[in-house]
Amino acid sequence: MATSKKHDLDVATKDAEEPIEQVLSRYNTNQKDGLSLEQASRKLAEDGPNELNKAQRPTLLMLFVMQLLGFIIILLIIAAVASMVVNSTNAKKAADPLSYTTGIAIFVIVLINAGIAAWTEHKAGGALEALSKMSQASIYVVRGGKEEAVPTNSLVRGDIVVLQTGDVVPADIRLIEADDLKVSEASLTGEPDDVAKTAKLRAKKEGEVEKLTPEVCVFSGCNVANGKGRGVVTATGMATRIGHIARLVEGEEKPKKQCFCLPDTSASQTPLQKNLEKLGAKIGVLAILVCVVVFIVGVIADRKDVANPDGSAAIYMILIAVTLAVAAIPEGIPLCVTISLSIGCKEMVKKNVVVKKLAAVETLGSASVICSDKTGTLTEGKMTMVGLWSADVKYDVGGKGFDPTVGKVTNSATKEDATDALGVRSTLCAALLCCNTSLHKVEDPDTKEVKWEPRGNSSEAPIVVAGRKVGLSENIGEEYKRVLEIPFSSSRKMMLTVSDIAGRDTLCPKGMPMPAGSKYLAVCKGAPNFIADLCQERIEADGSVKPMTEADRNSLLEVVDEYSSKALRVLAVAVRPMQEMPFDSSDEDVSTDQKFAALRQNLCLVGLVASIDPDRDGVKESVISARGAGIRVVMITGDYLKTAVAIAKNVSILMPEDDEAVAACDCNNLRPTGEYINNNEMDKLTSSTRVFARAKPEDKLEIVKSIQRQGQVAAMTGDGVNDAPALNQANIGVAMGIQGTEVAKGASAMILTDDNFCSIVAAVEKGRAIYSGIQKFVAFIMSVHIAEVMQIFVCIVVGIPVMRTPLQILFLILVTDLPPSIALGMEPGEPGILKQRPRPKTEPITLSWMWFSMVLNGTVLSAVIIAVYVVALIEYCEGEILQDRIVSRFGNEAETKLSYARTVAFVSLVWSENIRSYIARSFHQPVWVNLCGNKMMQYAILLAQLCLYAAVFIPGFSTKILVLDGINIGGFGWGLAAAGPIGTLILCELCKVITYYQMKAYQRRLLLDEQQAQAAMNAQGINTALPPPKDAKQDAVKENSSPQAAQPQEAKKDEAPVKNDTKDRFEAASTSVSL
């Protein structure tokens, strides 16, 4: 694979650098007649169709089976099978269907959990399928000397393709002809501007910045924005650039397989999935050990079934072992996690986030680095005019995007409305006369939303929108008949048009006056330094014209430099009114260059227009919030370094005090010799760099890999095809829903429906809250299981009747305990949760102090319920508590009397667990703090109570299946049961004091470990520390005067809570529920 890929790249380099004659010769074709039909058929058979390979997606059945391979699930299946096998060997129970209810119940739980998870995963789309759709059905080619339309998947190398405006480039093509050809490569490279293409090879000048794509080639999947062209196909299918991206998305290695030939997904597991697997493995090992110990003790002590005192102790102890397995294995955790994450997915929609993979909900909460594309993610993805200069006056242009009804032109100094300013109207009118772009209202076919869209060159769109803002006619092209057009070229650096202005006294209403007798107006629009050299005059604020001096030129270029330093794209506009054309229009021998040379003389400078792809509203504040959350935001873009740095400063990714040489770099530094630097050097570079410019798709992928090697959890956002490999590699890929390509959406785990970077920070907060809730219900459920194991173990060792059957345990855990557990997973986020550090990637879901808390609470619960059970045995068994004595004394009545005592213990346990549901809402805060803050808990407790009374009162279900009897236990039984929750409340609340001090000790230990790790990384030259928080605040205050900045009062209000240094983050964590 590597050799083949290198060969493809070598050939692609030759195709872009060699003369067109050599390229045509290599593919045995000619530009006039193209390939013959026989040649095309033969090459199609050799190379295959012009399509991308489609990876085989797992079927719904395969996904379902994969869910059954978790360690906890396998243990449950084994327990269910063992239960059914043992009962089938018992002559008394083999024919009774009710004896198999335990095994059946376990299987039902397993199947429900697997079904929910598999269905959610099945709904995720495929990235490679989306890549394959980025082409049109047919394209015009020249074959056998004839131009004809052929299906794009039948294209072969050597085909001569004809391109026109609106076409989607069907393959990688070396241009033979290019007539004002511009291609949108935003989805491929991230550059927002349309890229001018040419058929002429030119030598690279010394010191010239390397372009992301050769100017003599166009690439598969890109849209032709302007002009027309003709070229030879040099690569098809997986050999194209988009095919190379598909390889990166797919991965270079063949998919690994696990048992039963199922795909191995371990490499793409989220931290939560890995933590749950580790937890399951620990619990499984402990469960097996406990079962073995209890089995041996029970056999040695000759413990037998009360219902079958003559049976084998070994057979009975197998059933007890199954009971212990059910008690020890937290079968509720997989289902509860699945339900909690599913609810989290729905909650995320309110945050404008669509989740494709359940476990991805919590991954954002652990993100420590967010790598973001610039165009369309941090910025609007729409070039917008923000500044205008004319007659020594600067103007601000308000609004973002393409809507001309939003924003107005104001004087930069006075802030007064400048809609009718002569310089503004003259500059925009002249620029419009030199444009080929129009603005239209279009309706989205799906949402029916009406929006404005430009048609034509993206660099001209800001001019058209600004012209409409000052009231210039939308039909200006019809009102001013165009006589001549000389398109922009890389050599001329400008575009020139001539319009008929006969009979006009002014350029436009309230515009600059035209000299008497003027019939034509030449307009030049292009690079300011080139146009400045051609101008002999300039307009004044009153419309008069004066000679342009060298001082005027220097002053103009200073304005241009000021705009350029802010990453603005600047165009100069100059005019030349004429009574007659400076050449014979009827002479066909006058070349375009001669016409251009004659028309560009004696120009009059009208003004400058400055545009930018503006940062999105709220992005700056979100970046500052992310920094406060301990998250580093990294920009990775295809733009030039200067532009990237300016945008990064605008949105506070870079601080004014940052050393740009360290914090920002050109991606050529990652591959100075064409090959990537070694991992150690790469890690040093990526640890301190927050802006990467001129990035290729491979660069983004390597950057994400480097961040992951440093132990960070990387989230990657993006919208283009070029982002897909990195989205796929990242721990969590986040695609843009509106402007994002289907490729990016397919490669991601989450989609932002509003394309707003700000939604990511809100999603991070929600993800942390969800994870915190999962920690709470895992601790809650585990303490229940620990208590169940302790209770059964004590019963077996002491010799009292086993307190519960396996089915009763399942009912307790999955019916009466599951609703409160789910409610715990829906706990609202604690105040300040976004100020905490991101949890380490390797941090287990249950921390050391949580294990102590779980064991402590389980012990308390066991002691209370065992005490209740013993008192109940004394009451209903007339003073007897040992199983042997009860059986020998009461005989056949023993089961009935035991059912009364078990019912009391059952009711007491449910009530105690319901009380503990409120206690478990915080690990260290008293139960009365915000007692009713979680509305879902009230509903959960109500449901649990209804299930309890159904279990002990419904005839048949209670007595035959669950073997409980709530009717005959009497008032004493119900009163005794009430003692359990009272004791549990008092003792568990006292346990929180111990837990609090353990939490503090753990945080101090973690802080020390992090400081030592940071010191070690600093010694190696790797710096992962965030910038000082005060930088972010100072920067926010400094830029509050900009149109996009937050209000000063809001900025000040948010300053105090933003704590970014490690110590402050840990101190903040110490007062919060979720750590």
CA 221-225-228 angle, 5° bins: 95
Distance CA 746, CA 741 (A): 9
Q: What is the DSSP string of 440-505?
A: EEEE-TTT--EEEEEES-TTTHHHHHHHHHTT--TTHHHHS-EEEEE---TTT-EEEEEEE-TT-S
Distance CA 466, CA 431 (A): 10
Any bridge partners for residue 714, and if so which? Answer: 369
Distance CA 137, CA 153 (A): 8
DSSP H or E stretch at residue 153: none
The pair of structure tokens assigned to 348 is: 């995320």
User: HEC states along 207-266?
Assistant: CCCCCCCCCCEECCCCEEEEEEEEEEEEECHHHCHHHHHHHHHHCCCCCCECHHHCECCH
Distance CA 834, CA 652 (A): 18
Signed CA dihedral, 246, 251, 253, 257: sign only: negative
Q: What Cα–Cα distance (Å) separates residue 163 from each residue in 231, 240, 271, 526?
A: 8, 17, 48, 26
Catalytic residue among 8, 373, 965, 1035: 373
Is 644 buried (19+), middle (13-18) or exposed (0-12) by CB count in 10 A? buried
Residues 441-469: b if buried by 16+ CB within 10 A, e if exposed: eeeeeeeeeeebebbbbbbbbbbbbbbbb
Backbone φ and ψ for 691, nearest 5 degrees, come out as -135, 120
The pair of structure tokens assigned to 512 is: 């600059």
* 553 three-class SS: helix
Specify the amino acid at residue 890: F
Any bridge partners for residue 235, and if so which? Answer: 172
Among candidate residues 646, 650, 654, the one with its CA nearest the CA of residue 688: 654
The pair of structure tokens assigned to 536 is: 């002999």
Distance CA 69, CA 114 (A): 10
Among candidate residues 708, 758, 736, the one with its CA nearest the CA of residue 367: 708
End-to-end CA distance of the chain: 45
Checking DSSP bridges between strand 450-455 and strand 438-443, what pairing results, if any? antiparallel
DSSP H or E stretch at residue 538: strand 535-539
CA 405-411-414 angle, 5° bins: 130
Q: Active site includes 159? A: no
Distance CA 736, CA 127 (A): 14
Q: In this structure, are residues 319 and 291 in contact, taking their beta carbons and an 8 Å threshold?
A: no
Give the other-Cβ count within 10 Å of 347's Cβ.
17
Nearby residues of 411 by Cβ (< 8 Å), 6 or more positions away: 393, 394, 395, 396, 418, 421
Q: What Cα–Cα distance (Å) separates residue 399 from each residue in 347, 466, 1040, 1044?
A: 32, 9, 17, 10
Distance CA 190, CA 293 (A): 63
The pair of structure tokens assigned to 391 is: 């007659």
Distance CA 890, CA 901 (A): 14
Distance CA 713, CA 839 (A): 9
Distance CA 852, CA 1032 (A): 40
Enumerate the active-site residues.
373
